[in-house]
Structure 1
Amino acid sequence: MNPVLQPQIQELIETAHYRPAVSIFLPFKPVMTSKTMLSHVIKASIDQVERQLLRDYPSEVAKLIMHKLHTLVSNINYNIYKKSIAIYVSPVFEKILYLDIEMEHKIVVDETFEIRDLLYNKKLMKNYLVLLLSGTNGKIYLGENNRLTLIVSPPLKPAYIYRNDLPERVSNFSDISERKKIIMEKFLRHTDASLRIIMDAYKLPLFVIGPERVLGHFKKITHHKAHVIEYLTGSYHEFSVNELEKLLEPLIHNWEKVKQTDLLHKINDAADKHKLVVGPAEIWKEAMCGKGKLLIVEKNYFVSAERQNELRIIPLPPHPYSKFSNIHDAIDDIIEKILLNSGDVEFVEDGMLPEYGGAVLIKHY
């Protein structure tokens, strides 16, 4: 055999041995959905896979895959508190991933596995917070798509509560505007402290709405600048919920822009707290130790590497093949580990992270 052609022929043999690769992505919430209902959806998915395999592949291969698939799903854990599952099966590989991210129902029968397919299939969730301010009061809303729900706890004290807290020399001020300014600042500081509890619980992008003067003071005292996507100036405190929803529609219409702005804010905040990791080898090391909270990576960022006890970046063919794994590059390896440890992964457009080389990891803090 021609020694020049031998590697290419071997790769073709191995690739043929590896395919077909079946991926099934499913919402999976046993706490909220009955086992009977979930089992029905899983069975329907398996039936669809079988039809596609019998149509596109030899019957022997289809039977092998179906046997492995039936064995795998018979061992699904219905007593787990997760949001979705990903089922992977090929002639040489099978695995179930239990995930804390919302997934759309999807079936993929392809030549190879791509764990990125899992992330591209994440359910789009337009979740955000809205702080509505006036000169004397404040409200915090949770936004889910185009619907707002008032968050009652912790309540925001109206500004007049702080009048009795003023020192005597202030309460006797003849300058009423100065007195109002001090009262408003006390109110805004309390509001910001209440907002901290909400932000810690939800960790969502934030929109702040209020009169120009109030927003000016809020910007000076707030500890949440890193989370604010946009300030909307105006006196909207008497708006109904429906009117507020219409007011916010243009701001959340381009959700990709909102999400990527929020991710850049998260990166800057993590850097300030010394919780930002850069470089594929360092990112891989922290992810393998279960320290990865959020991986942010450009869509077409790939890293060829091999690993023993640590990651070593090496030049490999564009699509390296391993019969012992469903992972094709170091970033896929990192993605899987982060998801299994209840972390999250977000893609951004190519060129958004040039100063970080294309990927960053935010550690738990």
Structure 2
Amino acid sequence: MSSTIPPEIREVMDAVHYRPAVSIIVPFEPKMGLKAELSHSLKIAADKAERELMQNYPGEMSVLVMEKLRAILKNLNFNTHKKSIAIYVSPVFEKVLYLDIAVEEKIIVDESFEIRDLVYSKKQLHKYLVLLMDGKESRIYLGNSSSFVNIVSNISEVDAYVNELPERVSNFSDMSSRREIIMDKFLHHIDDGLDIILNAYQLPLFVLGPERMVGHFKNITKHKAAVIEYIYGNYEACTLSELKAILEPHIADWKTVIQADLLNRMEEAMDNKKLAVGMHNVWREAMHNKGRLLVVEKDYMYAAEHGSNEDKIYKINEPYNKFSYIKDAVDDVIEKILETGGDVEFVDKDVLKKYGHIALIQHY
């Protein structure tokens, strides 16, 4: 998603909180679909919101909110080139946001618009990298939910390393050693070539190839943190569709793939002393604009109060000081990370238990 919070989103976040309020976040690409179909989808979303409103907040205020919502739906801009729309309505405030991010439908009936609502609604595209190795060459593919394509890379064929070695010898043990040296040079070159690819794409990586070669690569690679799984087999003759089919069972549980990738990246950051863990440490580094990627458990919240400095907070103690009270420090950190060009990912409950439920990968 966009890494900066636009003024119009800031306006919604700072609006007076007044129940009941409705937030509707849905895909909205008029150039890709018929106006009638989009209008029908929005009507269904509005009907869902109305049912929940009437169930939880029966009375005049809910009627007022629905009148305002239906008026908004009648006046939407169908000439926009945006990808999604977020509508916020309360008894005292309303706003329509046309967004550049792909989202999944979300309807929230609550007292306010929270920044995590937009992050939750980001559409998760199943994008990943595949490194395929065999005895002669290596190839890298970019896969996603709908396609699987070869990426042009500078990784040479294994034959390029044969002429770098001394003259051939007839001794069997020397020949075996020669093959080991060739493979070692070849695999190191593959690993070096991954530097550019992984910096450009920053996606989970699957490594495919013969068990002996992949095992050797596993021992020498400096990109262990990027590798989700090593898959053994001889796949050099496979077509693109066959390779995609081979990967299907390994990416079926995409949430597990993403969470494994995030944990790998966190471990790498920890090795480089660039990982802050726990709410207090994350808050401090975020306030110093050091956040590259915030990883936090879904539904994790932290009521706090400001300390003597901006970069310090304390867990709330009752009774609290209303002037230093922070309703949810997690939402404030999410907002700060996005404002300063970082990104945010959510994981399941207790996935980050040993990290204090929240962690921040810093720039390095």
TM-score by length of 1: 0.75
8 A Cα contact 2:103 2:122, kept in partner? yes
Number of the residue aligned with 2:143? 143
Give the letter for the 2:168 counterpart.
Answer: N
Structure 2: runs of 5+ lacking an equivalent: 1-15
Give the letter for the 1:274 counterpart.
Answer: K
Number of the residue aligned with 2:212? 213
Cα offset, 1:156, TM superposition: 2.5
- Tell me how large the CA RMSD over aligned residues is: 4.0
8 A Cα contact 2:296 2:347, kept in partner? yes
8 A Cα contact 1:45 1:107, kept in partner? no
* 1:19 alignment partner, SS class: coil
Aligned counterparts of 2:117 and 2:214: Cα–Cα separation in 1: 42
Aligned counterparts of 1:26 and 1:343: Cα–Cα separation in 2: 24
8 A Cα contact 1:99 1:339, kept in partner? no
Number of the residue aligned with 1:358? 357
Number of the residue aligned with 2:316? 315
Give the letter for the 1:264 counterpart.
Answer: L
Aligned counterparts of 1:48 and 1:353: Cα–Cα separation in 2: 34
Q: Matches of residues 253-264 of structure 1 in structure 2 within 5 Å? A: 253-264=252-263
Cα offset, 1:58, TM superposition: 5.0
Question: How many equivalent residue pairs?
Answer: 335
Number of the residue aligned with 1:22? 22
Aligned counterparts of 2:100 and 2:148: Cα–Cα separation in 1: 24
Percent identity between matched residues is 46
TM-score by length of 2: 0.75
Number of the residue aligned with 1:196? 195
Aligned counterparts of 2:178 and 2:230: Cα–Cα separation in 1: 26
Cα offset, 1:44, TM superposition: 7.2
Q: 1:99 to 1:199 in 2, by over 3 A?
A: farther
Number of the residue aligned with 1:3? none
Aligned counterparts of 2:83 and 2:167: Cα–Cα separation in 1: 54
Cα offset, 1:241, TM superposition: 1.3
Give the letter for the 2:106 counterpart.
Answer: K
Aligned counterparts of 2:300 and 2:49: Cα–Cα separation in 1: 31
Structure 1: runs of 5+ lacking an equivalent: 1-15
* 1:154 alignment partner, SS class: coil
Q: 1:211 to 1:100 in 2, by over 3 A?
A: farther
Q: 1:102 to 1:266 in 2, by over 3 A?
A: farther
Give the letter for the 1:230 counterpart.
Answer: E
Q: Deviations over 1:50-75 (max 9, x none)?
A: 9956973655665578769989x999
- 1:129 aligned onto 2:125: no
Q: 1:44 to 1:252 in 2, by over 3 A?
A: closer
Q: 1:296 to 1:51 in 2, by over 3 A?
A: closer
Q: 1:364 to 1:35 in 2, by over 3 A?
A: farther
8 A Cα contact 2:286 2:337, kept in partner? yes
Q: 1:307 to 1:85 in 2, by over 3 A?
A: farther
* 2:124 alignment partner, SS class: coil
Give the letter for the 2:236 counterpart.
Answer: H
Number of the residue aligned with 2:107? 107
Q: 1:234 to 1:256 in 2, by over 3 A?
A: same
8 A Cα contact 1:19 1:111, kept in partner? yes
* 1:214 alignment partner, SS class: helix
Q: 1:335 to 1:221 in 2, by over 3 A?
A: same
